[in-house]
A and B are shown apart, each in its own frame.
Chain A
Amino acid sequence: MSYKIPMGPYHPALEEPYKLDLICTGETVSDAKLHIGFNFRGIEHLAESRNYIQVIALMERVCGICSNIHTLTLCQAMEGLTGLTPPPRARYIRVVVAELERLHSHVLWAGIAAKLMGFKTMFMTCFELREKVMDVLQAISGNRVNYSMNRVGGVNRDIEDPLAILAMVEALEREMIRTVIPIFTTSKTATSRCAGIGVLTHEKAVSCGVVGPTARASGLPQDLRRAAPYAAYPEMEFDVPVQQDGDVRARLLVRALEIMESCKILRQALTKMPPGELYAGDKLEFVTGTATSRVEAPRGEVMYSVSWKEDSRNPSRVHVRTPTFANMPAIRWMVMGARLADTPLIQASIDPCYSCTDR
C-alpha cells in the first residue's frame, strides 16, 4: 500500500519554501510531485516599471547567493541593446567576482550537504571557509551579498590591489586542498551517504535539459564559460570537471573539483588583470529590440531576454530563466526508488534556489 508524505513548503530539510509530495511504498519513494511558487514575487513584471539603473538593483535581488550573476547577465543583455563594450579591465573584474561568487556558493552548498549527511563538523568547517570568501567579496565591493559591481558597459568598482586579493585566494585554496576536498572525496561518512544515491541518468539529464553541475555530474560536458565564453573567459585556461555516475557523490565531486578550477581562474584573472577604464560611456542609448545573454552561474546556465523600446527609460520585458528552474523537475526522477530518509540530501544535491525559481 502506498501513502503520500508531504515535505514542505516549510520543513527543516529545505532551505527555502517548496513542497515535495512523496508517494511512498514502505520506506521507498515510488514517485514525487513538486510544488513551487510559495514566494512568487512578480519580479519580471516589476522590472517593467524600473528604469535602466533601477532595474539592475532590482534584478540583483532575484537571488541572494548568485546576485552578481543576475546583474552580469542583465548588463550583458543591455549592452547588446546599447552597443557598449566593457573595457578589458572591467571584463577581468567581472570574472573575478563571478568566480568568487561560485566559490562561496559551492562552499555554502558543501556545508548544507554536510549538515544533511549528519556531518556537523564539516558543516562548521565549510561555513568558516565561506566566511573567508565573503571577506574577499566584502573587501572588493564593500558588500557581503548584493555587491553592486555591474553596470551597463562595465563595472562600478575597481579591484585596486589584485595581488592582495590573490593572497586571500591562495589561503582559501590551501584550506580547500587540506580539508574540504579530501574529506568529501575520501571520508566514509560522505561516501556512504552519497554513492549510488539519487541517480539522474545521462538520458534523463538530456531529456530534462538540466544545466550546471547537475548536468556535468551526469556526464554532460556543458559549461557556457567554455562553450559560449563571455567577459574575460576566452583568455582563461581551466578544465570542466565531468563525472559519469549521476549520483549525489558525482554532484559533490563536480563541485569540489570546480572549487579548484575557480581558484585557478581567479589566480589567472588577478595576475593578468590589465590596467584601464572600468566602464565604457556614460550615456546609454537603447535601440528597439530584444537581446539575450547567458552566463554560467554556480548552479548552471542563467539566461536573460531583455526587450526595449527606443527612447524608453524602462525595459518593456525582462525574462529570467534560472538554472534551478531547469534542474528542479529532475528531482522527481532522482528520488524515485530512493529511501525516504535520503530525499532531503537528494533534493539538496542540485543546490536548489527557490528564490531564483519563484523570482
Chain B
Amino acid sequence: MTLIDSILEKLGTAEPWIEKGGVHWLTASALNVRDLAKTMNALQARFVTITAYQLPGTEGMRLEYHWDLDGQLLGFTFLLASNSIESIYDLCEAVDWIEREIHEGFAVDFLGREYEPLLLRHGDKPGVNLREEDE
C-alpha cells in the first residue's frame, strides 16, 4: 500500500483518489475536516492553502484544502451548504491567515475560533471583498 493510499484507510473512506493535473483529489461527503487535519499532521504533510469558491445561486460554498506530502499535492473538497465549517486552527497553526481571509472575503464561518481582522478595515463586514450577493 502506498503512503497516499494509506490516507484513505486512515480517513475511513471508500472513495478513491482522482488524479488530475498532478493533484490527487478526494471528495467524500462523510469526510470530517478535523479528522483530515489530524491525519495530515500524523503524516507530517505540509499545509498549503484553502481555496474558496462561491457556488451559483444558493448552493453555498466549496472549499478545497491542500496539503503537500513529499512534493505531492493533495486536494480535499468540502461542500458547505450552511456556509460554515469547523476550524482546524487549533490543529494546524498554518491555516490561521487563510481561514481569516476566507471568513472576510466570503463570510464563511470557521467554527470554534476567534477572528481578528486581517484585511478588513474599520467599518467593513465579512464578505465585502469577494462574496457576491445571493440573488
List the B side residues contacting A301 at CB < 8 Å: 48, 68
Give 19 new A-B contacts, CB below 8 A, not counting A222-B71, A294-B48, A303-B66: A37-B118, A37-B119, A37-B121, A45-B129, A209-B47, A209-B93, A222-B68, A228-B71, A228-B73, A292-B21, A303-B48, A305-B51, A307-B53, A317-B53, A321-B98, A325-B98, A326-B94, A328-B97, A329-B97
Question: Are B70 and A209 in touch, CB under 8 angstroms?
Answer: no
Find chain B residues with CB under 8 A from A294 CB. 48, 73
Q: Does A319 contact B (CB under 8 A)?
A: yes
Q: Is B72 interfacial (CB 8 A cutoff)?
A: yes
B1-40 CB mask vs A (1 if < 8 Å, else 0) is 0000000000000000000111100000000000000000
Known: A290-B64, A317-B53. A329 touches B96 (CB 8 A): yes
Interface residues of B (CB under 8 A from A): 20-23, 44, 46-49, 51-53, 64, 66, 68, 70-73, 75, 92-94, 96-98, 116-121, 129-130
Q: Which residue on B lies nearest to A326, using beta carbons?
A: B94
Contacts of B129 on A, CB cut-off 8 Å? 40, 42, 45
A319–B129 Cα distance when bound, in Å, is 13
List A293-328 residues whose CB lies under 8 Å from chain B.
Answer: 294, 301, 303, 305, 307, 317, 319, 321, 325-326, 328
The smallest beta-carbon distance between A70 and chain B, in angstroms, is: 15
Q: Contact between A227 and B71 (Cβ–Cβ < 8 Å)?
A: yes
With beta carbons under 8 angstroms apart, the residue of A36, A42, A209 that contacts B118 is A36
> Residue-by-residue, is A48-77 near B (CB-CB < 8 Å gives 1, otherwise 0)?
000000000000000000000000000000
Question: CB within 8 A of A208: which of B23, B73, B93?
Answer: B93
Q: Do B51 and A80 touch across chains, with their CB atoms under 8 A apart?
A: no
Q: At the interface, yes or no: A291 with Cβ under 8 Å from chain B? A: yes
Say which residue of B21, B49, B96 sits within 8 Å of A291 (CB atoms): B21
A36 to B104, CA, bound (A): 13
Q: In the complex, are the beta carbons of A292 and B94 less than 8 A apart?
A: no
Complex CA–CA separation, A358 to B104 (angstroms)? 13
Interface string of A28-48 (1 = CB under 8 A from B): 000001011100101011000
User: In the bound complex, how far is the Cα of B101 from the Cα of A176, in angstroms?
Assistant: 40
The 9 lowest CB-CB distance pairs between A and B, nearest first, are A227-B71, A209-B94, A37-B119, A321-B49, A80-B21, A319-B51, A305-B51, A228-B71, A207-B93
Task: Specify the chain B residue showing the minimal Cβ separation from A215.
Answer: B46
Q: Closest B residue to A33 by CB, please name it.
A: B116
Contact A45/B130 with A37-B121, A290-B64 known, Cβ cut-off 8 Å: yes
A177 at the interface (CB under 8 A from B): no
Q: Which of A207, A209, A227 contacts B48 (CB 8 A)?
A: A209
Is the beta-carbon distance between B119 and A222 smaller than 8 angstroms?
no
Distance, CA A305 to CA B118, complexed state (A)? 21
CA distance A227 to B22 in the complex (A): 12
**Closest A residue to B121 using CB positions:** A37
Residues of B within 8 A of A228 (CB): 22, 71-73
Q: Is the CB of B49 within 8 A of A303?
A: yes
Listed residue (B53, B75, B119) with the most chain A CB atoms within 10 angstroms of its CB = B119
